[in-house]
Amino acid sequence: MGPLVAIAQNLITGHITDVRTGEPLIGASVIVKKTQGRGVVTDVDGKFSLQTQVEAPLTLRVEFLGYRPLDIDVYDFEEPVEIAMVDNSNLLQEVIITVPYGKTKKGNFTGSATFVDSKAIEQAQVSNISKALEGTVPGLQSFSSTGQPGSEATILIRGVGSVNASSTPLYVVDGIPYAGSLNSIASSDIESITVLKDAASATLYGSRAANGVIMITTKQGRQNAKPQIELTGKYGFSSRARSDYKQVSTTQWLELFHESLRNYRQDQGYSAEEAATWASKNFVSRLGINPFGTNYPEPIGTDGKIVDGAKLLWDDNWDDAMQQDAHYTDLNVKVSGGGQHSKYYFSAGYLDDQGAYKGSNFSRYTVRANIESEIKPWLEVGLNASGSYSDQDNPPQTSVQLLSPIFYARNMRGWMPIYQHDLTTGELLLDEYGNPQYDYGNYRLNNYKGYNLVSTIERDKWNYKKENASIRGFVLLKPVKGLDYKFSINADYQNQNYLTYRNPSVGKYASSGGSMTRSNSRTTGITLNNVVNYEHTFAKLHNLRLMAGQEYYEYNAGNISGSGTNILTDGYYEPDMMSTITDFSGSSTQYKLSSFFGNVDYNYNNRYYLSASVRADGSSRFSKEHRWGTFWSVGGSWKLHEESFLKTAAKWLNNLTLRASYGAQGNDNVGTYYAYQGLFAISNNLGNSGLQASRLATPDLTWETNLHLNIGLDFSLLDNRVQGSVEYFVRRSKDLLFSIDLVPSSGYSSSNQNVGAIRNNGWEFTLTGTPVSTKDLYWRIGINLTTYKNKITELPASEMWSGNRKWVEGGSLYDLYVVEWAGVNPENGNGQWWYTNAQGERVKTESYATANSNANKVNVGSSLPNVSGGINTELTWKRLTLSALFSFSLGGQIINNDYSHIMQQGGHWYAWSVDILDRWTPDHRQTDVAKLTYSPQKTYNAVDSHFLQSSSYGRLKNLTFSYALPKQVNKLLGLDNASVFVQGENLLTICGIQGLDPEQAYDGTSNFRYPAMKTISLGFNVKF
Amino acid sequence: MRKNHIKHLINAISVATISTALAACDLETSPTTSVDSSSVFNSTNDSEMVLEGVWHYIMDTNSGDRNPSFATIQLTDDCMGSDVVETNRYGYNTRYDFTDIYGRANSAGSLIWTLLYAGVNNANNVIDNIDIAVGTQADKNRIKGQALALRGYMYLILASHYSFSIDKDPQAVSVPIYTRTTDFLTASEGSAACSVTEVYQQAIDDLEQALELIPNNYQRPAKYKINRQVVLGLLSRASLYARQWKKAADYSDLLLSQNSYLMSEDEWKSGFNSVANNEWIWGHPQTSDQHGYSQMLNYLNTTDESATYFSIMVDPWFRENYNDGDYRKDQIYWSPTPGQNPATATLLWMRNEKFRYADTSAKYGDGVLLRVGEIYLINAEAKAQSGLTAEARTSLNTLRAARGANLASESLSTQDLLEEIYLERRKELWGEGFSLVDIIRLQKSVERKDWPGDNFDFVYTDANGQQQVRSIATAGHRILNFPDGTPFTPNSKYYLYRIPDTEETVNSHLYEKYPRLSIYN
């Protein structure tokens, strides 16, 4: 301590508020400019008082996150200073984004990153964070293969960069790659999401960043802030976002079924009259039950019409019966605050997201504690710990699966009764207590026999219970100014217990005593790292930042599973209940990754920015010789608006920055953890050990590399009222891991090789405008667009197939190839397809099997949309705010298996679309719908070009209308802040195809997808 | 003070850093579900494990319910023949109507191809490595013999399903032959397909070598293991299919001299689900925890409600071929589908209760691969073809007598006797997977006759124990011609499995020796 000197202290007091709302701003920092003294922050009323030795006049610098910084001149210490700050949270250049191993201001970042704030995330009423990003980030596409609550969307950043290795981005939570389950993170705990797209942004996560990085940052408390409690609650109702495909009525269906029997009989060589008589005679026997009652043994006459007097005794709606009044509940409590040296954030949440269909619900409990403490000026420690428990009922879907509620609800027709009826009168048969009794359909002649999902969907189980724990801990040392060292230890733990249960009492499995599978899997992901940072400014102009680090990641997973039958009693779900064990198995896997990395950032006078990164990774997936991969990036940016030649434009040009980056990122996620070894699979054969050749060795297998060029221009005009950016990217993937087809007769089917290359190049646009910004009225609107092309530049074979997609050099990974439909033969009503015969002629055939070879398929378009994006807007008038997000996807084709399934010629007892009414008949020969027949040549899953449909759509993802309570009311209630709101998810869908739920898997096929949910809820938010 | 603290901290952290860096050096991991191929062929015991493993793979690799591993071939053979009526339920309806295996994109074709060639490759691995393994010469011989027999069996199935009869066009293309362990080059380029004659010959050569290597005194630990009787049985079958009548007669004679047991009526009616059946020479045992193969019973078991599909019924006309008193006929009768209430049922099927689960809740039963009944029929056919009509009739009648069937008369011409033998094969081996193979190798045609569907007075006992009679419609054959509307003919393109699309694309040598079958142009 130096000698005590009495110095005059001046006291400045003041009050800081939001210019629009007039609300006090808590925690804004105030400092006297040009002094070394400590600043102060505003208190809970937005007030501050600051002591200084500087005499008036002086200038105060006022800063608050999300607001434009202000310089206020003070001439008089007597008057309290009234400061109104302007909300700047949308000022793109100012937001703080999370980057690998640190944070930075977006304006200073040379890479391509998109920032999504907590508001946008919290408005999405979804139970999986991967679904909240659709339409918010240019370059990011979200594909929801299912709309079931709790399910995850597939995220692609700048297209598919890999073919056989993983294409999913790396998820990073609080700076560390996340190994847990995404649906265990509560959206209300998320402060922001930063999506890193190019090499400069992502290389520091080198090994796993080839497909982009989604950085999730959770909320923190604030230093010197009073404790605040925030309560949020939402309650609402969910249903299907779009109604299902329209189907023919039950009576139409029955008449059509008669027609299909008649046509089939004719095809077997009988005359039309004989066939019609046969169809009428055998109608009931081929249906299995007579919905017109036993008084009408031949209810359909030879003319194909229902005979006089015959009436349906029942006409049940299975789709309605399978659906439920779904509720949506989301409750959160958060406590945050901080003292002089520490800050804390605690939260707890509960979510209950029920599906539109019975037996498909998701509920979750979450807790979180984020604490950081500055123990000494040179020592900081922090711990983020979170835990969650979730419970999901997840019945099968997306396939032709009788146990799938979607498939079942669509295919059960009204003539099949839900409850047992008297077969003569149609009266319900009641049990001894007067209740209706379920009909399990033992009359059914197909394999629907024995199934009544209305009865069993909730009695049977497909249940996941998951416990997640995630810990992020660090020690930060600042031994000298500008230098810091951080050691962090991070662990993600997940335990998942899965139960499938078929009850032994009723339904299909009762006769074999029911069955059960219980499996448990446990995964841990541990990351340890050491990072040194050094920052220094030379000669006030040269700003330099250096970073070097080392990291080790280890992933362990193990699972055990047991199955059995002969369940003792219904309603008990533990393996003790099963008398016969049919299976017991278990295995474990391990993955290790060791890395070293470094980074240099330099800028000259905050005008020219340069950055370079390098990272080396060793992965246990590859052989010793090919284990290490080195990845790098360089980037630069130039703040043109700082240049003197643009000074004249300063009046209207607030920002103009040109950015460019280039670099390489790796991908080792080749689908197996033991990619290089020649293997013999272990099995147990009737009590003896068995081995079987399963894989040829591939010792040369190594990393896949993505080379990524990014050029971006950011601009901000007219007092930041118009902001935007344009980015161009070229993403080339080389040494692509291809699964090459081996000759099947060799005993092996495929082998992974580093061959081939693809390229994605495209444009991303973002534009945000604030047309109105007055004290009472504020309107902001933004749009983002993405368009890109995918091209295969090198392929290991002249052509390769992946389902309905064919790959050739020069083509795209998304090109769909199917058998070409050649219309209906007007002579006989059979479907026809084009095929190339041995003479090379293109001819029609009525045999789908003949036409259906790979060589014969034709390109019918791409599953990739031409343009996708989103429009978001916020309109505030006084205390009312309306905000909306609209996402869209234009272009792109889908092979609609849902539709082809209900357009079948017949055969089974499946449903028929209303479009089947246009089928071929002898009187209606010019049509595109083949004739009906009980024995069709073409089965449900046979794909051809006329079931290709446009998957373009637009969807109002969410709409929120909120009202902030007036200050006086808040005061009366003792609250700091309160609002109520109404929120809608997926309120409107624009799509040309009736019945299609257009958000689909990106492979371009649709298969009994669980539809997206429409959720409307009421909510409140209070802070005190 | 402050500096000291920092020093300690830095020391502590250096330790942490170094230890994590050291931990990072060891990046070796290994799977728990496989072993490295370099450590497989050390001892004869290892080779034996490879035979176990691949047998397990062939018998327990299902591709959806409709393709229950190896049994897929057997079920498909029956559903594509003349005597099975399929009920238009999931799975085998498209085999029954001939739209499935003719199409190359079908799952059955690629599964069968994969399974059979996995058998070949693993057998080749054993054959190539057994001589350098540690173990006794006796074990080496026996294991090598078993591997050869397995390979021969695979080629026998390939030859009889991927090509027409050997006498239709002996030089017609069949499938590729591999006799060495697959290396990377072979796996990438493949090998030329051989002629049907060559593939049958490979099968017979392999089996004959096996016969020399497997000792007579080998006591097999389980009925799925290959011993000399199995090899003799397979040789009889292979020689018959290859139309080498003398060999077929000799090998079947030799086998019958060692084992001529025909099951009793009780055994016949016990459900065809146990390797304990003394007539079974070779069978695949199933257990509650390993029963992929017996999922075929979900289709064949038509008496049990817990069977999932019960879709393989009998052609009502076919039943007429059994005379009264033949106990095989007792098991064939009209019935609604299992679990259906007879008071409300609308359709009766001609059920055969030959195949039933050994265990209803776990739904499994053993499968038969070779039994004495078939050997009698091979013997009879081979001898009739060799002109030994009297001996042929004796063999046929031995079997008929055991089943309670009328005996073949001495007045039958050789050709008529052969037809009797062919019919007896259909009656005796119904549901065991021989229908289509016989149609192909004998260049016959599928024969299906429309069933008028008249009502049948079905007698049943109701819930109150009262006997009731209801007149219910009946079902017979549903598909009476090929998918293109043409009548059934011999040597139809619809009968053969097709070489998978991928094989034709990737195997650059495939049609180097023999051209592709013209029926596919």
Q: B123-165, pLDDT tens digit by residue? A: 999 999 999 989 999 999 999 999 999 999 999 999 999 999 9
**ipTM given for this complex:** 0.91
pLDDT, tens only, B64-89? 778 899 999 999 999 999 999 998 88
**Cβ-count burial B242-251 (b if 16+ within 10 Å, e if not):** bbbbebbbbb
Q: Which of A132-146, A750-764, B259-273 has the highest mean pLDDT?
A: B259-273
**Averaged over B506-513, what is the pLDDT?**
94
Beta carbon pairs, A and B, within 8 Å: 330
Contact B33 A692 (CB under 8 A): no
User: In the structure, what pLDDT confidence band is assigned to residue A92 with cuts at 50, 70 and 90?
Assistant: low
Which are the contacts of A508, defined by CB distance < 8 A and separation ≥ 6? A440, A449, A450, A451, A456, A502
Q: What is the pLDDT at residue B23?
A: 56
Which are the contacts of A787, defined by CB distance < 8 A and separation ≥ 6? A762, A763, A866, A867, A868
Query: For residues A740 and A736, what is the distance between their CA atoms, to the nearest angstrom?
Result: 11
Contact B56 A694 (CB under 8 A): no
Q: What is the pLDDT at residue B30?
A: 80
User: In the structure, what pLDDT confidence band is assigned to residue A237 with cuts at 50, 70 and 90?
Assistant: very high
Q: Which two tokens stand for residue A732?
A: 């080339």
Identity of the residue in A619, A692, A799 whose CB atom sits nearest the CB atom of B54: A692
Query: For residues A929 and A935, what is the distance between their CA atoms, to the nearest angstrom?
Result: 16
Q: Could you give the residue ranges of the DSSP H alpha helices within B309-466?
A: 316-319, 327-330, 372-385, 389-403, 414-428, 435-441
Q: Quick one: DSSP state of residue A963?
A: E
- Give the distance from residue B56's alpha carbon to the nearest chain A alpha carbon, in angstroms: 5
Is a pLDDT exceeding 60 seen at residue B497?
A: yes
Q: Which two tokens stand for residue A276?
A: 């019609």
Question: Measuring CA to CA, which residue among A826, A804, A800, A808 is closest to residue A926?
Answer: A826
Comparing A205-214, A671-680, B301-310, which segment has the lowest mean pLDDT?
A: A205-214
User: Which chain B residue has its CA at the smallest distance from A619's CA?
Assistant: B27
* A443 neighbors A423 (Cβ within 8 angstroms): no
User: In the structure, what pLDDT confidence band is assigned to residue A3 with cuts at 50, 70 and 90?
Assistant: very low
Comparing A176-180, A494-498, B4-8, which segment has the lowest mean pLDDT?
A: B4-8
Contact A686 B287 (CB under 8 A): yes
Is a pLDDT exceeding 80 seen at residue B184?
A: yes
Question: Measuring CA to CA, which residue among A705, A704, A707, A535 is closest to residue A634?
Answer: A707
More confident residue, A203 or A629: A629
With a pLDDT cut of 90, the percent of chain B lying above it is: 74
Query: For residues B404 and A620, what is the distance between their CA atoms, to the nearest angstrom?
Result: 68
Contact A743 B341 (CB under 8 A): no
Contact A745 B481 (CB under 8 A): no
pLDDT, tens only, A576-621? 888 888 888 899 999 999 999 999 989 888 888 898 989 999 998 8
- Give the distance from residue B39's alpha carbon to the nearest chain A alpha carbon, in angstroms: 9
State whether residue B519 sits within 8 Å of chain A by CB.
no
Residue A130's φ and ψ, nearest 5 degrees, are: -65, -20
Mean pLDDT of chain A: 86
Query: For residues A400 and A396, what is the distance between their CA atoms, to the nearest angstrom?
Result: 10
**Averaged over B362-377, what is the pLDDT?**
94
Contact B290 A685 (CB under 8 A): yes
Tell me whether strands A81-85 and A10-18 are parallel, antiparallel or unpaired.
parallel
Q: Which two tokens stand for residue B308?
A: 């999932």
Is a pLDDT exceeding 50 seen at residue B18?
A: yes
More confident residue, B22 or A260: A260
Is a pLDDT exceeding 80 seen at residue B360?
A: yes
* A680 neighbors B49 (Cβ within 8 angstroms): no
- Give the distance from residue A213's alpha carbon to the nearest chain B alpha carbon, in angstroms: 23
* B247 neighbors B204 (Cβ within 8 angstroms): yes
**Averaged over B26-37, what is the pLDDT?**
81
Is a pLDDT exceeding 90 seen at residue A398?
A: no
Angle, alpha carbons B350-B354-B355 (nearest 5°): 110
Q: What is the pLDDT at residue B10?
A: 63
Q: What is the pLDDT at residue A939?
A: 63
User: In the structure, what pLDDT confidence band is assigned to residue A737 with cuts at 50, 70 and 90?
Assistant: confident
Comparing A547-551, B102-106, B199-203, which segment has the lowest mean pLDDT?
A: B102-106
Q: Which two tokens stand for residue A15?
A: 């009050």
Which are the contacts of B465, defined by CB distance < 8 A and separation ≥ 6? none
Q: What is the pLDDT at residue B21?
A: 58
**Averaged over B366-387, what is the pLDDT?**
96
Question: Measuring CA to CA, which residue among A410, A403, A402 is closest to residue A240?
Answer: A410
User: In the structure, what pLDDT confidence band is assigned to residue B17 with cuts at 50, 70 and 90?
Assistant: low
Q: Quick one: DSSP state of residue B10?
A: H
Query: For residues A210 and A572, what is the distance between their CA atoms, to the nearest angstrom?
Result: 46
Is a pLDDT exceeding 90 seen at residue A9?
A: no
- Give the distance from residue A162's alpha carbon to the nearest chain B alpha carbon, in angstroms: 22
> What's the Cα-to-Cα distance from B165 to each of A28, A337, B196, B414, rounded to whole Å?
91, 86, 8, 21
Which are the contacts of B480, defined by CB distance < 8 A and separation ≥ 6? A268, A269, B448, B449, B450
User: In the structure, what pLDDT confidence band is assigned to residue A1 with cuts at 50, 70 and 90?
Assistant: very low
- Give the distance from residue A37's alpha carbon to the nearest chain B alpha carbon, in angstroms: 23
User: In the structure, what pLDDT confidence band is assigned to residue A1013 with cuts at 50, 70 and 90?
Assistant: confident
**Averaged over B111-129, what is the pLDDT?**
94
* A358 neighbors A241 (Cβ within 8 angstroms): no
**Averaged over B31-55, what is the pLDDT?**
87
* A230 neighbors A333 (Cβ within 8 angstroms): yes
Contact B188 A743 (CB under 8 A): yes
**Cβ-count burial A653-662 (b if 16+ within 10 Å, e if not):** bbbbbebbbb
Which are the contacts of A416, defined by CB distance < 8 A and separation ≥ 6? A289, A316, A318, A439, A441, A444, A448, A909
Is a pLDDT exceeding 60 seen at residue A377?
A: yes
Q: What is the pLDDT at residue A58?
A: 82
Q: Which amino acid is at B254?
A: L
pLDDT, tens only, B205-246? 999 999 999 999 999 999 999 999 999 999 999 999 999 999
> What's the Cα-to-Cα distance from B282 to each of A417, A510, B58, B274, rounded to whole Å?
48, 34, 15, 11
Q: Which of A258-262, A713-717, A797-801 has the highest mean pLDDT?
A: A258-262
Query: For residues A400 and A898, what is the distance between their CA atoms, to the nearest angstrom?
Result: 10
Q: Which amino acid is at A273?
A: E
Q: What is the pLDDT at residue B3?
A: 56
Contact A565 B222 (CB under 8 A): no
Q: What is the pLDDT at residue B319?
A: 96
Q: Which of A801-805, B273-277, B305-309 has the highest mean pLDDT?
A: B273-277
Contact B337 A565 (CB under 8 A): no
Residues of chain B with Cβ-Cβ distance to A799 below 8 Å are 505
pLDDT, tens only, B250-294? 999 999 999 999 999 999 999 999 999 999 999 999 988 888 888
**Averaged over A233-241, what is the pLDDT?**
91
Comparing A158-162, A441-445, A714-718, which segment has the lowest mean pLDDT?
A: A158-162
Q: What is the pLDDT at residue A2?
A: 42
Contact A683 B53 (CB under 8 A): yes
Q: Quick one: DSSP state of residue A255?
A: H
Collapsed DSSP state (helix, strand, coil) of residue A545? strand
Q: Which amino acid is at A834?
A: W
Residues of chain B with Cβ-Cβ distance to A565 below 8 Å are 361-363
Q: What is the pLDDT at residue B374?
A: 97
**Averaged over B292-299, what is the pLDDT?**
90
User: In the structure, what pLDDT confidence band is assigned to residue A257 with cuts at 50, 70 and 90?
Assistant: very high
**Averaged over A953-973, what is the pLDDT?**
87
State the sign of the Cα–Cα–Cα–Cα dihedral B153, B154, B155, B157. Answer: positive
Query: For residues A316 and A300, what is the distance between their CA atoms, to the nearest angstrom?
Result: 20
* B78 neighbors B312 (Cβ within 8 angstroms): yes
Query: For residues B137 and B343, what is the distance between their CA atoms, to the nearest angstrom?
Result: 67
Residues of chain B with Cβ-Cβ distance to A678 below 8 Å are 36-38
| pTM for the model | 0.86
Is a pLDDT exceeding 60 seen at residue B454?
A: yes
Is a pLDDT exceeding 50 seen at residue A819?
A: yes
Query: For residues A905 and A260, what is the distance between their CA atoms, to the nearest angstrom?
Result: 8
* A297 neighbors A316 (Cβ within 8 angstroms): no
Mean pLDDT of chain B: 91
**Interface subset of B 196-215, CB within 8 angstroms of A:** none
Cα A78 versus chain centre, distance: 57
